[in-house]
Structure 1
Amino acid sequence: MGILSRASYVVRSKVNALLNRAEDPSESLDYSYEQMRDELQDVKQGIADLTTQKKRLEIQKRRLEENVEKHNEQAREAVQQDRDDLARKALEKKKSKMNQIEDLETQIAELQDTQDRLVDKKDELQGRIEEFRTKKETMKARYEAAEASTRVSEAMSGVGDEMGDVARSIERAEERTEEMEARSQAMDELQDTGAFDDALSDEDEIDRELSSGRTDREVDAELETLRAELGKGSADDGDGDADAADTATESDDLVDEEVEAELEELQQEEDADASK
């Protein structure tokens, strides 16, 4: 096999493979069905044309038969008039017409046979078409059911073209999401460790540490100020607070004694008034 022949074979094989994948059995069946219907229509048209031709021959035959009868009457009348010469001419025309009639009858018989065969072929073809139509609809229904079942199975298993695209899209989205999450976490970690200096500040890591120390001292100083304003000392003044508490307790005891003495005086006055 030459190079060109092999190349042509490969091309035809590729084209046939593409056509097989693109071919829809339903469309092929419908196309075949329409072809058969066209053939049936051609047969019917042929029968109609043949019948028309036969009718023309039959009309021509009837006219010849009328002429035969006419020539027969002419021959009788010519004999009655002792005109044998005219009688002979009439009989010759009669014979010619009868020969034509025989030829027409032969042609009509042949046309009739052809018509009968075409009618039989038409009936047979029509029966085949009806049978094919039934099979066609059955095959189309089976193919559509198989196609729908295949689509459902591919969708459920994820092996179809569309589902494959969806699965790849989800996979890519997950990869991008995981990559972005990892990048965000890495940036947060680097930011917390101070690996990245503030783009709007000239401070470095040492400046930030010193600033944080100053802030802590300022907060402690302000806390001491608040304690002093509220009369609370620092932890070193704990003993002074205890002495103040004892002094307050003694003061409370003196107040209680004074109240008891005053109550006793009031009671004595009431008793003196009662004895009067």
Structure 2
Amino acid sequence: MSNSSRMRSIFRRKTSRALDKLDDPREALDESYDQQVRMLQQVRQGLAEVATAKKRIELQGQEMGLRYQRLANQARDAMEQGREDLARAALERRALLEGQVVALRDQFSALQQQTARLQDNERRLAERVAAFRIEKETIKATYTASEAQVKANEAVAGIGSQMNDVGSSLARARDRVAQMQARAAATDDLLTSGALQDLTAAPDADLERQLSEVTTKADVERQLQAMKATGAPDRSQPNPPREGPDAWLSIGGAQSGA
């Protein structure tokens, strides 16, 4: 495989991984779950704000109720002391305060209804988020298991981009081995035939080798002729081979003596 082909293969693998990441349903499910959690947090924050406003109105209404009762007591005390003018002023203030209390009570009632609706919405949304989380984790686990099974099946079947790269690598390795074996056999033949010269050998080494081969052949022929003539091995050597553990020391003695 050329460098350009290898680069294209790497680019395809990276592009495929990027697309798989974009199409991964697990990330889409997590994003949807996060959005629902944020919505639930917003509902709870709104519920807390409404509850705070309702509590503030409740405290204000309690304070106005105490003042309303106090004005009634002041008006009665003023009448007992013969101060009709003071009693009239207390009752007028009490009447004005009564209108304010009625408006505040209506606002408090509206906040109670709004709180009840928000609480109901918060409960239903929390149940939906919890159910979605369970389903999300189930789908993610199923997808992960299926993905692992697909990879395992592709590995066993020898398919897929990675296995294709492995197959290409094996094919290239086999081609290189075959080429190297053929080259080794060819150079052996060339060296044997003398077509290639050993540059590290001494001068005239090839001539000496050929002369040695001729001498060896002539010596073999001489021994064969002697054996044919006498029916026994040639004993004419000045130093026949010895016997025993050191017999190997006498091998070739005749040639060295010559």
Task: Judge same fold: TM > 0.5, yes or no.
Answer: yes
Aligned: 1:216 with 2:212:
no
Aligned: 1:174 with 2:174:
yes
- 2:236 counterpart residue number: 228
1:113 deviates by 1.7
* Equivalent pair of 1:72/1:90 in contact (CA under 8 Å): yes
User: Can you list the C-alpha shifts for 1:197-241, whole angstroms capped at 9, x where unaligned?
Assistant: 2322433877754443234335656886953359xxxxxxxxxxx
1:101 deviates by 0.5
Q: Which residue identity is paired with 1:93?
A: R
Q: Report the CA distance shift for 1:97/1:116 in structure 2 as closer, same or farther (over 3 A).
A: same
- 1:40 counterpart residue number: 40
- 1:268 counterpart residue number: none
- 2:249 counterpart residue number: none
Aligned: 1:133 with 2:141:
no
Q: How many residues align?
A: 215
Between stretches 93-102 and 34-43, larger displacement belongs to: 34-43
Which structure is higher in helix share?
1
User: Can you list the C-alpha shifts for 1:106-145, whole angstroms capped at 9, x where unaligned?
Assistant: 1111111211111111112112112211221221122112
- 1:100 counterpart residue number: 100
**TM-score (norm. length: structure 1):** 0.69
Whole-Å separation in 2 of the counterparts to 1:19 and 1:116: 47
1:32 deviates by 2.0
SS in 1 for 2:126: helix
Whole-Å separation in 1 of the counterparts to 2:38 and 2:212: 98
Q: Which residue identity is paired with 2:160?
A: G
1:150 deviates by 0.9
Whole-Å separation in 2 of the counterparts to 1:105 and 1:54: 10
- 2:20 counterpart residue number: 21
SS in 2 for 1:148: helix
Whole-Å separation in 2 of the counterparts to 1:77 and 1:151: 93
User: Can you list the C-alpha shifts for 1:245-269, whole angstroms capped at 9, x where unaligned?
Assistant: xxxxxxxxxxxxxxxxxxxxxxxxx
Whole-Å separation in 1 of the counterparts to 2:17 and 2:220: 82
Identical residues among aligned pairs (%) = 38
Between stretches 49-58 and 29-38, larger displacement belongs to: 29-38
Whole-Å separation in 1 of the counterparts to 2:17 and 2:217: 79
Whole-Å separation in 1 of the counterparts to 2:72 and 2:80: 13
Q: Report the CA distance shift for 1:18/1:181 in structure 2 as closer, same or farther (over 3 A).
A: closer
Q: Which runs of 5+ in 2 are unaligned?
A: 1-15, 227-232, 239-258
1:50 deviates by 1.0
- 2:186 counterpart residue number: 186
Whole-Å separation in 1 of the counterparts to 2:107 and 2:17: 54
Q: Report the CA distance shift for 1:162/1:151 in structure 2 as closer, same or farther (over 3 A).
A: same
- 2:116 counterpart residue number: 116
- 2:229 counterpart residue number: none
Query: Which is greater in Rg?
Result: 1
1:75 deviates by 1.1
Whole-Å separation in 1 of the counterparts to 2:188 and 2:107: 107
- 1:247 counterpart residue number: none
* Equivalent pair of 1:71/1:93 in contact (CA under 8 Å): yes
Q: Report the CA distance shift for 1:20/1:173 in structure 2 as closer, same or farther (over 3 A).
A: closer
